[in-house]
Amino acid sequence: MSQRIEYLDTFKGIAILLLVAFHINGQVFHSYPQWFRTSSYQGVHAFFLASGLGLTYSLINKGKLELTVRFWSSWFKRRFLRLIPLYWLVLFLTAFIFKFHLNILKVSSNISSPLIDIILHAFMLHVFIDKTFFSLNAAWWFVGVISFFYLFFPVVFSILYRFRTSVFVFVLVPVSALILFFILPLSRQVAVSMLFFTAGICLAFLIRKIRDLRLTPSLYTQSLLLGLSFLFSLIGVFVTAYSLLHPSVFFSLPSDLDYVLFSSFFVTAIYALSMAVILFNKYLIVSRLEKFLAWFGVYSYAVFLIHWGLIGPVFSAFKSPLTGGLVYFIILTALSLTLTRLSDFGLSRFRRTT
């Protein structure tokens, strides 16, 4: 049995490239066209789905689990080392650039004291204050939100793991998340992200169940199912967009439910596309596309942390957006690779000494 989901890196690669496109659209092209800005933002929700999916699947593939306090303490330690050191490194470099007014990274503080802003970000408390939610770096709210999602992950995982043979529980958990979506006083970004993170957890159990039963359809059947899934997802995207009063206006939808439906269809289409890329990677052009997307998926966290701040300075240095985009992606890939390897090297040294 496969110990990993083969298309997860591809899925994350598509998600992070959509998010990069979203921020380029906002900073360089001033959010025009608006339909592209709204659609590309769905990469954020896809990323939260991938996070819940990857976390859960990596655990349930370890065999029988003893979900004790010691187990979860070890889990939190691993997640901390995976998430925070690289974030702190980028935050430190950003603070240094901001302090000395170096025009190599876009940094913006929305409060009078940048030092307090940096401290709030260091402890992921910036997501609780409106003025600092998008401060310093507009993409960093993800780090704070996903960190707090990790706090309720053991509860949701333990319930699903304990009652993994019950269909009722697998219906109850996402329904409960949907109810909380309308009850809790959360911003739309956080609330929708919570839904997709929870959906990713449930999806991991479903995938494991299918693989346990060895329900692997033929290549023809897989192709047909993926094609239908992608088609119906796109139909869903257009139908829900058409039902909105102003589908081109970012986050100006008539109701939260409309937005959830639109996001769900769009993310499902991305998911089906990532599976199709893996399924047909025996063809040369698809194989190269898969390697390209998977590379960005592997280094997606570093890309997530640094992509926003690089857009303004790099694109403004060139008259042609095409030239600026090419240079931007070269710098982005090089820095993402360097920072990730530097972080991995530091963590490996740390683990050897503890």
Q: Which domain holds residue 111?
A: 8-353
Q: Residue 248 pLDDT more than 60?
A: no
Q: What is the pTM of this model?
A: 0.89
> How does DSSP classify residue 134?
S
Q: From the CA atom positions of the chain, what is the Rg in Å? A: 21
> How confident is residue 308, by pLDDT bands cut at 50, 70 and 90?
very high
Among 157-161, 213-217, 245-249, 303-307, top mean pLDDT goes to 303-307
Stretch 62-80: mean pLDDT, rounded?
88
The answer to the question of residue 247 being in a domain is yes
Q: Residue 252 pLDDT more than 50?
A: no
Stretch 191-210: mean pLDDT, rounded?
88
Q: Which of 68-72, 111-115, 146-150, 189-193 has the lowest mean pLDDT?
A: 111-115
> How confident is residue 187, by pLDDT bands cut at 50, 70 and 90?
confident
The answer to the question of residue 65 being in a domain is yes
The answer to the question of residue 214 being in a domain is yes
The answer to the question of residue 138 being in a domain is yes
| Alpha-carbon dihedral sign for residues 136, 181, 14, 248 | negative
The answer to the question of residue 1 being in a domain is no
Which amino acid appears at position 218 of this protein? Answer: S
The answer to the question of residue 3 being in a domain is no
Give pLDDT, residue 251. Answer: 45
For the record, the structure tokens of 176 come out as: 């409960």
Alpha carbons 208 and 146: distance in angstroms, whole number? 23
The answer to the question of residue 2 being in a domain is no
Stretch 253-262: mean pLDDT, rounded?
70
> How confident is residue 294, by pLDDT bands cut at 50, 70 and 90?
very high
> How does DSSP classify residue 184?
S
Instruction: Please give the backbone phi and psi of residue 101, each rounded to the nearest 5 degrees, phi first.
Output: 55, 40
Number of domains present in the structure of the chain: 1
The answer to the question of residue 95 being in a domain is yes
> How confident is residue 247, by pLDDT bands cut at 50, 70 and 90?
very low
Give pLDDT, residue 5. Answer: 81
> How confident is residue 254, by pLDDT bands cut at 50, 70 and 90?
very low
Alpha carbons 335 and 341: distance in angstroms, whole number? 10
pLDDT digits (tens, 9 = 90+) for 211-239: 777 666 677 777 787 888 888 888 878 77
Burial readout 232-271 (b: 16 or more C-beta within 10 A, e: otherwise): ebeebbeebbeebeebeebeebeeeebbbbbbbbbbbbbb
Give pLDDT, residue 243. Answer: 62
Q: What is the DSSP string of 243-294?
A: TSS-TTSTT--S-HHHHHHHHHHHHHHHHHHHHHHHHTTTSHHHHHHHHHHH
Give pLDDT, residue 1. Answer: 44
Stretch 262-288: mean pLDDT, rounded?
87
pLDDT digits (tens, 9 = 90+) for 9-68: 999 999 999 999 999 998 888 877 777 888 899 999 999 999 999 999 999 888 778 888
Q: Residue 338 pLDDT more than 50?
A: yes
Q: How far is Cα of residue 69 from the mean position of the Cα atoms in its chain?
A: 28
For the record, the structure tokens of 250 come out as: 């970012």
| Alpha-carbon dihedral sign for residues 52, 58, 61, 67 | negative
